[in-house]
């Protein structure tokens, strides 16, 4: 998805990483290692986006320029592209299982404090799920943290006010699937 918008996989990976983590600075070797891209291509893209103004260079590191005039709009576009990629994931998930609950958080909502990017409740076929999550990670250009529970565990954790679940559902979340009933605390806390 992002490759189509930005013209190349390397460009999409760099822009996505830097804009979704605007508080961080990256050295070239760290970008190359984390994104699994070629050093020459990375340097070319960094120079291009620095000249454009979307990225700032400090000494030997690069980061997002939060003061760039359309920074907010480009970041919002990246977030929406991630949601579109997740829709493809949801369609695939429904083909291989019957999820009762699916919530996005973390990278999908720019919640850097979230301990997971996705919570899935319901039975899953492990091998098919791992293939599906791998495709989503490739689309997003980054590894995802996900949490899988069966319905009984989810309900129990809610009942005992499990701190992990409480923090995730109380933070920025986008609830995409909820067939567990009309629980108040299962509603989306999406923020735009």
CATH 3.30.460 in the chain is located at 79-186
Neighbours of 59 (CB within 10 A): 7
What's the CATH fold of domain 2-69?
Arc Repressor Mutant, subunit A (1.10.10)
Q: Residue 64 and residue 71: Cα distance in Å, rounded?
A: 8
Tell me the two tokens of residue 39: 């050093």
CATH 1.10.10.10 in the chain is located at 2-69
What's the CATH fold of domain 79-186?
Beta Polymerase; domain 2 (3.30.460)
Residue 188: per-residue pLDDT: 44
Q: How deeply is 60 buried, as exposed, middle or buried, from its count of CB atoms within 10 A (0-12, 13-18, 19+)? A: exposed
Place of tokens 């605390």: 185
Residue 39: per-residue pLDDT: 92
pTM of the model: 0.63
Residue 7: per-residue pLDDT: 63
C-alpha pair distances (Å), 35 with each of 28, 44, 51, 150: 11, 15, 21, 33
pLDDT in tens, the chain (192 residues): 444 455 677 888 888 888 888 888 999 999 898 888 899 999 999 998 999 999 999 888 999 999 999 988 888 788 777 776 677 888 888 888 889 999 888 878 878 788 999 999 999 888 999 998 888 887 776 788 999 999 999 999 999 999 999 988 888 888 888 998 644 444 444 443
Residue 5: per-residue pLDDT: 52
Residue 6: per-residue pLDDT: 59
């Amino acid at each position: 998805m992002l490759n189509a918008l930005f013209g190349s996989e390397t460009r999409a990976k760099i822009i996505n990483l830097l804009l979704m983590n605007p508080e961080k600075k990256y050295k070239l070797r760290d970008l190359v290692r984390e994104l699994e891209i070629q050093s020459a291509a990375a340097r070319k893209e960094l120079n291009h986006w620095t000249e454009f103004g979307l990225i700032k260079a400090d000494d030997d590191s690069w980061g997002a320029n939060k003061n760039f005039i359309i920074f907010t709009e480009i970041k919002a576009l990246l977030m929406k592209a991630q949601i579109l990629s997740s829709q493809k994931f949801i369609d695939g998930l429904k083909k291989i299982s019957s999820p009762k609950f699916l919530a996005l958080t973390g990278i999908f909502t720019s919640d850097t404090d979230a301990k997971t990017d996705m919570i899935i409740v319901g039975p899953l076929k492990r091998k098919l799920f791992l293939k599906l999550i791998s495709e989503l990670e490739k689309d997003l250009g980054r590894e995802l943290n996900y949490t899988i529970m069966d319905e009984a565990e989810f309900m129990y954790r809610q009942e005992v006010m499990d701190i992990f679940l409480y923090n995730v559902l109380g933070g920025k979340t986008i609830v995409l699937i909820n067939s567990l009933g009309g629980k108040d605390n299962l509603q989306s806390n999406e923020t735009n």
